[in-house]
Amino acid sequence: MKPCTGGRIVIVDDVADTRCVVEEVLKLGGYTNFVSYENPLIALEEIGRNTRPAIVITDFNMPGMNGLDLLAGIESRHPGIEALIITGDPLQLADQTRYHVIGKGPGFTKRILEYVRQVIVEA
């Protein structure tokens, strides 16, 4: 993984509480350039119209499209995108994806911030 400088963080999760938690941990970590989406289909449209995000943080289980399908759609527009998938059952995805996967639960916000810091180097 090659760190990038600055860049927009995209959060996609159909659960408002989880989106808020991720937003708060990013703010506490000093990141302010992020946008959140509830609907993965809308997120995919918007990402296709905008510049490449530095990282996409997405839930796996969402209505209409799962996180892997979302990332496949983003990859078609932005190959090699960095992404973090958050799921209640990380073992189900362990061998299915090249993306970093973390489980929801104790300490997951710390792991989100650690991963984002690996990917994004602030300018």
Helix residue ranges, H only, the chain: 16-28, 40-49, 67-77, 108-119
Domain holding 97: CATH number?
A: 3.40.50.2300
What global pTM score does this model have? 0.89
**Number of domains composing the chain:** 1
Tell me which residue range forms the domain holding 111.
Answer: 4-121
What is the 8-class DSSP label of residue 11? E
pLDDT value of position 90: 67
What are 9-54's pLDDT values in tens digits?
999 999 999 999 999 999 999 999 999 999 999 999 999 888 889 9
